[in-house]
Amino acid sequence: MQSDFEGRTEQEAIDKAIQELGLDRDEFDVEIIESSRKGLFKKGNVKIRVYYGSERTSLSEQDSNFDEPAGEVNGICDPEPENDNERKIIEFIETLIDKMGYSGSASISFRRDSKIGIAIESPDSSILIGRKGKNLDAIQLVANVYAGNLDPDLKIVVDSENYRMRHEEQIIRNAYKTAELVRRTGRSRLLDPMNPFERRLVHTAINDIDGVDTKSEGEGLYKQVRIIPVK
């Protein structure tokens, strides 16, 4: 279920939700859907959407299905395809790279349940990765559409030059650095927009740090995490 609430500040809107719904703060998720600045003849206003009950559960499941980076997986596996589906996926990705005008080869980097990691080796890896991994994400998206036609349960994680592992480490380092700044200054800070998995990394990393807390803000898949001081 979901409900909308308004207040002069985000906290005031959240307090209204707690009072009207009779829920504790940790029993619902908050999304800011409208925020207007206070002006000379205009009062500031924040409108939030609260997700609770089954609606909150469905959102959590959606987030958990977002592609995980290859950096999460430990161990070594046979890089050669083990079956026709793996062989077809490898060939599809290599053909896709070729159609993009670049050279490269693909191999299996890990297998876990119905999830398969694909590593791309290419002299043009920096281009295939793209700014903030956007090109790599696009290749991964197309590969998952193709794999879904072979087996609806298959999930593909595409990586190159261990970008996803390095990116994950950078997100955590930046979160720690920002958290320390928030503790020192007493002022909240917004991180760059992130997908659900990246936001979970930040929430988990900051969870055990005294003096700060985190919350997600914004709309859509890519939201921002705000790190806030806690007295």
Q: Taking the domains of the chain in order of start, what are their residue ranges?
A: 2-64, 70-161, 166-229
- The pLDDT assigned to 147 comes to 94
Cβ contact 215:225 at 8 Å: yes
> Nearest-5° angle of CA 163, CA 169, CA 175?
135
Return the CATH number of the domain spanning residue range 70-161.
Answer: 3.30.300.20
Closest CA to 191 of 169, 222, 220, 163: 222
Distances (CA, A) of 31 to 13, 19, 140, 203: 11, 18, 28, 16
Cβ contact 66:14 at 8 Å: no
Starting at the edge strand found earlier in the chain, the sheet holding 224-229 runs: 189-190, 224-229, 212-217
Distance (Å, rounded) from C-alpha 128 to C-alpha 180? Answer: 34
Q: What is the largest CA-CA distance in the chain?
A: 68
- The pLDDT assigned to 144 comes to 93
- The pLDDT assigned to 39 comes to 45
- The pLDDT assigned to 74 comes to 42
The answer to pTM > 0.75 is no
- The pLDDT assigned to 42 comes to 44
- The pLDDT assigned to 43 comes to 53
Q: What is the dihedral of CA 143, 144, 145, 151, to 10 degrees?
A: 120
- The pLDDT assigned to 194 comes to 87
- The pLDDT assigned to 190 comes to 93
Could you tell me which residues come within 8 angstroms of residue 108 by beta carbon, excluding any fewer than 6 positions away?
77, 78, 79, 80, 81, 82, 86, 90, 116, 117, 118, 119
pLDDT in tens, 111-168: 988 899 999 999 999 999 998 888 998 999 999 999 999 999 999 999 999 998 888 8
Q: What is the DSSP letter of 162?
A: T
Reduce the DSSP state of residue 219 to 3 states and report it. coil
Distance (Å, rounded) from C-alpha 46 to C-alpha 23? Answer: 20
- The pLDDT assigned to 79 comes to 81
- The pLDDT assigned to 75 comes to 46
* Spans in the chain with pLDDT lower than 70: 26, 30-44, 53-77
- The pLDDT assigned to 98 comes to 95
- The pLDDT assigned to 44 comes to 60
Pick the CATH number of 166-229 from 3.30.360.10, 3.90.960.10, 3.30.1370.50, 3.30.1520.10: 3.30.1370.50
